[in-house]
Amino acid sequence: MSLEDSPNPDDLLPKNEDSSDEENEQEPPSKTAGKLLHHAAEGAALGAAKNAAQYVIKNGGRASNVVSVFDKTVKSSLGNPKWFARVDMPHKNVPFHHINVNKAITGVKDPHIPISAMGAQAAGGVGKVMNVVNQAAPVLMAASLAYDAYQIGKCVATDIENHSSRNTIKKTATTATATVGGISGCMAGSAIGTAIFPGVGTLLGGLIGGIFGGASAGIAGEVASEVILETVNYDVDDKKCEKCGKWFQLRRYQEGSTQKFCQDCR
């Protein structure tokens, strides 16, 4: 490169006047909201899948039973899941609405936790909803995985066309982050739900924890990956405009590698 063709140091600043305003501005709130909802849905699918893999819900049963939760990981001598927690109406031995917890699973004597009649009724309603969610969990998980695969495939196609890899790296990283966050959130939510309302609260807490964990971790992954990739100027090239001769930054992952003109000359 001859001396007169070498770039002016002032023109190589990361944010120079030749850079597009659209490239430097934040993405629209609607797009951020869309990503948030997508990661929340990923977390919901994970929470539902984990609940369905471990627990079975049964409304009713004996005359005093409102709703029961069975743990698939703990089996009886006949190979059936043992009950973990149940909500009962008043009966001869315990004359008030209460939650029973199985000592065989928790190692703690059944505390017969008192609850109100309204609380017992609400638990029965939540149990019906969570039962539907458990049954839908395989479909929700399959749909979530298929959509993520579709999104990654789109990024791969864009990167092939643009001779880049940034879109695929970012999407893969944020999907992995949302998955880890969803699983962690589900586990934390289950623990909190168990402490508040064993059984039904366990499942509801796991689902809510998955939603919040997936959403927060997914967005955090979006921000962190963008900051890292931007800091190292990944797939961002310094090019000389063939019309005005000024140097500009070409975001290859967005525009491809064939752009010859700066933003002002396009």
Per-residue pLDDT of the chain (266 residues; tens, 9 = 90+): 444 454 554 444 444 444 443 444 467 888 889 999 999 999 999 999 999 999 999 999 888 999 999 999 999 989 999 999 999 999 988 999 999 999 999 998 999 999 999 999 999 999 999 999 999 999 999 999 999 999 999 999 999 999 999 999 999 999 999 999 999 999 999 999 999 999 999 999 999 999 999 999 999 999 999 999 999 999 999 999 999 999 999 999 999 999 999 989 98
Task: Record the tokens describing residue 75, joined without a space.
Answer: 């089996």
CA atoms within 13 A on the CB side of 201: 16
Matching residue, tokens 């659209």: 22
Give residue limits of the domains in the chain: 36-234, 236-265
- Structure tokens that stand for 36 in this block: 């948030």
Predicted TM-score (pTM) of this structure: 0.84
What is the pLDDT at residue 16? 43
